[in-house]
Amino acid sequence: MKVLLFSEGKKLFSKSGVGIALKHQMQALKHTDVAFTLDPRDNYKLVHINTLGPKSWKVLKNAKEKGIPVIYHTHTTYEDFRNSFLFSNQIAPFLKKQLIKRYSAADYLIFPSKYTEGLIRGYGISTPGFVVSNGVDTALFRRNETLAKEFRNSFNIKTPLIVNVGLPLKRKGLIDFAEVAKRFPEYRFVWIGAKFSAIQPLSIRNVIRKSPENLLFPGYLSFEMLLGALSAADVFFFPSYEENEGIAVLEACSMKCPVVIRDIPVYQDWMISGENCLKASDIDGFCEAINILLRDRDLAMKLGEKAVNTAQDRDLRIVGKKLKEVYLNATGGANE
């Protein structure tokens, strides 16, 4: 069995969650006997689509005409598209119509979480589907004290360090992150992620431009620098308002980072406050959670250890096995 893993705009999306998810699928399948291709001109028995552009629709239609089963990965929802880029809220209702059209036309769906499955079902879509985590490579995302020291030295950081990873969007909680940084001028805050400033609303560009001195936006970093940041972090603070899973959270968990997240439904059944993270719902709550972790290092260590178990449950080797099960189901069990 050969699978077409299809994503368009690979360069554009390479630094986004969708781009990372495609890389994860490729890595996960390398741990199985399932062959894959990225070229729609190749021969394949199954199509697995990740994006929503016109080329994706063409690939879907061509596959249907040939009787090839199509799986659509529901990385995008109406809810997580809003409050992202310029005019995203105005475009969101039209996007929702496209989501319904695309996801309904597929033979099967893959949901990154139970929460996302609930959202998609709420659109009235009844296409059969499976919940499969985007996963994390726990062999790669491991603490590295040498890289931690290099990261701190690179940015001259000698104080407690609070890190976030993701595109700097309103939906990701950028405004809250900046406000929390203002309340802790004695700590260093770092938000890692490509800025895409040209398509950011002016209000978000202003937050970045007028951020407090203790808040750093280094942009997109190399993998080694990212590992260094997560290894050096005293707290991973991820105040996102809406996620379909949260790959960055999984990566932080794999690195034994004490995690502070917003109390939103997507984490309900796998991120438990006081067990593998701390949750809060507003700026005061985030400040309290960060204070607790910086003062109680035993608790921080305990949460980090438990977080590793959470990541291991979603390791790419496990994801690969689940993808293979989905593919076999979609092709009637023929592992050709």
Q: What is the pLDDT of residue 16?
A: 65
Q: What is the pLDDT of residue 19?
A: 80
**Among positive and negative, which fits the CA dihedral 27, 30, 35, 39?**
positive
Q: What is the pLDDT of residue 15?
A: 56
Q: What is the pLDDT of residue 85?
A: 83
- The burial class, CB within 10 Å (0-12 / 13-18 / 19+), for 273 is middle
Q: What is the pLDDT of residue 203?
A: 87
Q: What is the pLDDT of residue 10?
A: 60
Cα separation of 212 and 179, whole Å? 9
Cβ pair 213, 139 in contact under 8 A? no
Q: What is the pLDDT of residue 11?
A: 58
Cβ pair 87, 65 in contact under 8 A? no
Tens-binned pLDDT, residue by residue, of the chain (336 aa): 899 999 987 655 545 668 889 999 999 999 999 999 999 999 999 999 999 999 999 999 999 999 999 999 999 999 999 988 888 899 999 999 999 999 999 999 999 999 999 999 999 999 999 999 999 999 999 999 999 999 999 999 999 999 999 999 999 999 999 999 999 999 999 999 987 777 888 889 999 999 999 999 999 999 999 999 999 999 999 999 999 999 999 999 999 999 999 999 999 999 999 999 999 999 999 999 999 999 999 999 999 999 999 999 999 999 999 999 999 999 987 555
Q: What is the pLDDT of residue 314?
A: 97
Q: What is the pLDDT of residue 12?
A: 52
Q: What is the pLDDT of residue 322?
A: 98
Q: Which has the closest alpha carbon to 271: 227, 236, 321?
A: 236
Cα separation of 162 and 124, whole Å? 41
Q: Which has the closest alpha carbon to 161: 181, 132, 133?
A: 181
Cα separation of 47 and 300, whole Å? 43
